[in-house]
Amino acid sequence: MDTNETLRAHISALVDGELPQADVELAFAALQEKDGKVAWDRYHLIRDTLRATPAPALSPGFAERLAARLAAESALPPEAGDSGDRSNGSANGATESTGQAAILANPGTS
């Protein structure tokens, strides 16, 4: 990454309010330059444009169809061997945040 690209990366993080304090002065200095100002303008233009683009709506029968499928699923059965101790087990802590449950829900995904 060249210097200009590094500075634009800082500006990108600044746009999101995610720039580490140590880099803020550098980013503001870059915003005084044309390249930095253009990046700032364009990143905000992209944001505003994406947010203004409407998403497709769900079809009218969606909720009913999903409700029918959920009704076919019985209430959550107790997990085999579930001790009920939520502080225990490998699904706790960081494992969950990295998506063990999601992977269990979707075993085809690594």
Partner 1 sequence: MTTERESDQLLVERVQAGEQKAFDLLVSKYQRRLMRLVSRLVHDPAEAEDVVQETFIKAYRALRHFRGDSAFYTWLYRIGINTAKNYLVTQGRRAPTSTETDAEGAEGFDDADSLRDINTPESMLASKQIAHTVNAAMEALPLELRTAIVLREIEGLSYEEISEVMACPIGTVRSRIFRAREVIAEKLRPLLEFPVDKRR
Q: Binding residues for partner 1, per CB under 8 A?
A: 5, 8-9, 12-13, 16, 18, 39, 42-43, 45-47, 49-53, 55-59, 62-63, 65-67, 69-71, 73, 75-76, 78-79, 82, 86, 91-94, 96-106, 108-109
Please report how close the Cβ of residue 26 comes to partner 1 at its closest, in angstroms.
Answer: 15
Cβ proximity to partner 1, 3 vs 109, nearer residue: 109
Closest approach, Cβ 21 to partner 1, in A, equals 15
DSSP string of 65-89? Answer: HHHHHHHHSPSPPPPTT----TTSS
Q: How far apart, in whole angstroms, are the C-alpha atoms of residue 110 and residue 66?
A: 26
> How buried is residue 39: exposed, middle or buried, by Cβ count under 10 Å (0-12/13-18/19+)?
buried
